[in-house]
Amino acid sequence: MLAFERLLQQIDPAIPSYNIDILRDSLVDWLDQDDNPTNVGSEDSEYESLQFPYVAANNYMVHKSELRLINGVEVPWLRELLKLVCVLPNDNSFVINVNTVSEENAAVIAAATGLGLYDAQSILANRGSEGFQTTAVFLNDPSIEALEPRLKPEQEKWFDVKTSHFILHTKTQYNDATFAMQTLFKIDSNKNVIVIRRNFSGF
């Protein structure tokens, strides 16, 4: 949750820390399987009291649009947040391919490492056309090595130089009708391609 908290701060430094705490803890409660609120988080009782009630998922998210249901979210910065996050259904892994993050989205690297936004942008700008050959090359960047506190071994595992998930955007048009689809694929260790999710919508 540390990276998520930092990401909110990167999106808008003016977001009050208390609002960040509410969303962070409510996100924990949305994902965990108990009914006990985490610090200033929210469980079923909070959502059941709304005009249009619902309950916490108490499970993995299936799509990032679920974020709009979580207590503490505010529309002005939700739009920016949705541009920088993704959800892998039934998967709790947190791994970032440092070769595919654009400079425009450097806030993701800043949040995961603890770097300032400028330093994160600089690292991405200087990775070269071939990108980082190994994760170690990325982690050995002087800006990352100078971090205090240094990244912990479990945090270093957040970064990779390869991708196992891909999104295919398909759009066709016939007369006045438009058909759009997003397909999320996963390539497993045996290089089999598996369809994880399909969304039928405009984009």
> Hey, which residues does 184 pair with through a beta bridge?
167, 197
| 2-84 and 96-160 share one fold | yes
Which listed CATH number (1.10.1060, 1.10.540, 1.10.40, 1.10.600) goes with 96-160?
1.10.40
Encoded tokens for 58: 């108490």
Q: What is the arithmetic mean of pLDDT over 168-175?
A: 90
Q: DSSP letter for 148, please.
A: S
pLDDT computed for residue 90 by the predictor: 83
Domain positions in the chain are 2-84, 96-160, 165-200
- 16-63 per-position pLDDT tens digit: 999 999 999 999 999 999 999 999 999 999 999 999 999 999 999 988
- 70-119 per-position pLDDT tens digit: 999 999 899 999 999 999 888 888 999 999 999 999 999 999 999 999 99
Whats the size of the chain, residue-wise?
203
CATH no. of 2-84: 1.10.40.60
Residues contacting residue 14 through CB under 8 Å, at least 6 positions apart: none
